[in-house]
Structure 1
Amino acid sequence: MDDQQATVVAVLDGGPADIPVVMRTCHVNGDADTVKLQWLNGYEHFHRTTAGSDGRTVFTWVGRTRIAE
């Protein structure tokens, strides 16, 4: 069995409007249910919502946590 997991293209929807467009698309493990994006002084959290027919998977913003100092 191959130790590498297949990846999918994740599109991050919602959250702070100032997240650059180039950061809203990334590759994640195919079985990932969440994406955590470090942005400014915290993390933006996204949960998987849909898999598009174009091979992209949409993750919708669900909240933010601050980085502990």
Structure 2
Amino acid sequence: MNDVSQAGSVTRDAVGIIDVVLEGGPVDLPADLRSRRVARAEEKIKVLHYGGYEHFERGAFPEAVGLPVVFRWTGRTRIAE
């Protein structure tokens, strides 16, 4: 029987999480929204901002060890009313 502790599951979950930085987009997008942690598999991120969504996509550069992954701004959509 395998011993599965809670600490082990936390470690497994944390392996799939990466730090990212959002680059570009509106200059008034708050700094605290530009740094986040997301699942490693994420290719796109959208951020609610002033009645719309700012869209960011993962950059084409390979991940550097210890540095956040850069997601670049690709556009904005408005929320339909």
TM-score by length of 2: 0.74
The residue that corresponds to 1:68 in the other structure is: 80
The residue that corresponds to 1:15 in the other structure is: 25
Query: Unaligned stretches of 5+ in structure 1?
Result: none
The residue that corresponds to 1:47 in the other structure is: 57
How far apart in 2 are the matches of 1:18 and 1:52?
A: 28
Q: Give me the identity figure in percent.
A: 38
Aligned residues: 68
Query: Unaligned stretches of 5+ in structure 2?
Result: 1-8
Higher normalized strand content (fraction of residues): 1
Q: Which runs of 4+ in 1 moved over 4 A?
A: 2-5
- Give CA-to-partner distance per residue, 1:37-63, whole Å, 9 cap, x none: 111110000000032332411000000
Larger Rg: 2
